[in-house]
Every structure is written in C-alpha cells, then in structure tokens.
Structure 1
Amino acid sequence: MNNPQFAFTKKNYILMLIGIGIITLGFIIIGMDSAPHGFGFLGLTLGPIITLAGFIFEFYAIFYRSEKK
C-alpha cells in the first residue's frame, strides 16, 4: 500500500500561523487609528500595507516546499 503524503509539512503550518499573526497585526493597527473613521496614516497607509504583506506571506507559506522528500 502506498504511503500517503500530506500536502503541508509542519513548517508550512508554522509559516501560516506567522502569516495569520501578521494579518491580525495589520487589522489591529488599522483599528488603532485615532482619526475619524480611520482616515489617518495608520488606517489608510500603514495598516493596509502590513495586512497585504501578511496575505503575501500566506501565499508563500502555502506554496513553500521543503527539499526533503
């Protein structure tokens, strides 16, 4: 019988958790903006950039492939 291999390794899951943390940090920064309706620097610039970086990191974590077979 064949030995089934899982799609993700332990390192993939660790990287995915880090990506979720980065995304969460971005949303927290957006919420910390003291300007009305979030129209300040944190809500319009810094928070979305960090959130986008988190999503990009998630793609990296999903597509990461270890050299070990």
Structure 2
Amino acid sequence: MGEQKRKLENKEEFIFQKENYKWMFIGLGFIALGFILMVGGGSDDPNVFNPEIYNWRRIRLAPALILIGFAIEVYAILLNPNKK
C-alpha cells in the first residue's frame, strides 16, 4: 500500500493539457494569418506612392485577427480542462 502511494506522489503532472494546446495552436493560427494578411503593399520605386498600403485588409482585418489570436492565447492559458 505504501509503495503505491509513493508512486502516485512522484507522478509529475504537466501544467497544460491537450485542450490547452489545441486552443494555443488555434490562437497561433489567427496571429499568423493576421501577419500574413498584413504583408505587402509596398512600392518598388521609393518615389512612387502606392495607396494599396492603406486598404481595409491591412488596416482593419489583419490587426483584428491578431488581437483575436492573442485573446484566444489568454483563454488557452487560463483554461482548466479538469474543471468541468
């Protein structure tokens, strides 16, 4: 009986579980997609202005996706799958 108790006491437990990592990867996907959507829009010639840099995708959508991704990351860290 004492040996079984010691084995249970020595068992190490990870801080995060499978569901935490699932949400973390979803959040990282949102962040990566946001940065990918923000890429581009520059001009090859520095004397020519390209108004594409100020389009809706780069100014509104991409930063919103990044912020949503960070919110999902916070949720993934605070999630306690044992408490259901």
Bucket of the pairwise TM-score, normalised by the shorter protein: 0.7 to 0.9
Q: What's the TM-score once normalised by structure 2's chain length?
A: 0.68
Task: Work out the percentage of aligned pairs sharing the same amino acid.
Answer: 37
Amino acid in the other structure paired with 1:42: R
Unaligned runs of 5+ in 1: none
> Displaced runs of 4+ in structure 1, greater than 6 A?
none
Match of 1:50 in 2: 65
From 28, 31, 36, give the equivalent of 1:28. 36
Greater relative contact order (CA < 8 Å, ≥ 6 in sequence) = 2
Alignment: residue pair count: 68
Unaligned runs of 5+ in 2: 1-5, 43-49
How large is the RMSD of aligned CA atoms in angstroms? 2.1
